[in-house]
Amino acid sequence: MSVSAIILAGGRAARMGGVDKGLIQFNSKPLIKHVISRLSPQVDEVIINANRELTEYSALGYRVLQDEVANFPGPLAGIQLGLKYATNDLVLCVPCDSPLLPENLVQALKTALIKDSADIAVATCGGKTHPVFCLCKKTLLPSLETFLAEGNRKVSAWQKGQRYTEVDFGVDSPAFENLNSPEDIIKLESK
């Protein structure tokens, strides 16, 4: 089964002083380029969800989609875009600020999705759930659109209302660390 990926880069980045997180440098390269290099061997299509710096994101050579729901409604708006516009029936969602994504992310999530007859598979690591690292079937779009139309925004609340499974990626790992502040970047670069 072919997989599309949507990289979520549409947030406000308040903890980064409003600087678009995907374009912040990590080891001398924008965060989103790290994510793309980890993802592109694992998927058949890459889409970027961005609401600012559209020229910079478009220059990366991938389709860039803006939220269709106003006022930065959060990651679910980006997931909605992936489910709506991806060319494949499975859609991987990841944030733009996790440069050390597992190289087996798609395979592990897809295996669990099939084995557990689920519609969505979510990554866990070190006992913590990471809802924005998920693989979804496109058939979930109507459910997500209804959830958003009702004013809901919590990713895990929507996910757990579906046929849902979790995939354990082992003990605590930097693979799922979100870089939310300049201090987070410095700390991860020094590892």
Residue 13: pLDDT band with limits 50, 70, 90 = low
Helix residue ranges per DSSP H, 24-140:
31-39, 54-58, 75-85, 105-115
- Asked if residue 189 has pLDDT above 80, the reply is no
User: 54 CB contacts (<8 Å, ≥6 apart)?
Assistant: 64, 66
Query: CA distances (Å), 35 to each of 17, 24, 58, 142, in order?
Result: 21, 12, 15, 28
Those residues whose C-beta lies under 8 Å from the C-beta of residue 166, and which sit 6 or more positions away, are 112, 121, 122, 123, 124, 129
Tally of domains within the chain:
1
First vs last C-alpha separation in the chain: 36
Return the axis-axis angle of helices 105-115 and 31-39, rounded to nearest 10°. 50
For residue 129, give its domain range.
3-189
pTM over 0.85: yes
CATH number at residue 119: 3.90.550.10
| pLDDT of 6 over the 60 cut | yes
Strand (E) positions, 13-65?
25-26, 29-30, 45-50, 63-65
**Mean pLDDT throughout 94-108?**
94
The predicted-structure confidence for 128-182, as pLDDT tens digits, reads as follows 999 999 999 999 999 999 999 898 889 999 999 999 999 999 876 778 877 766 6
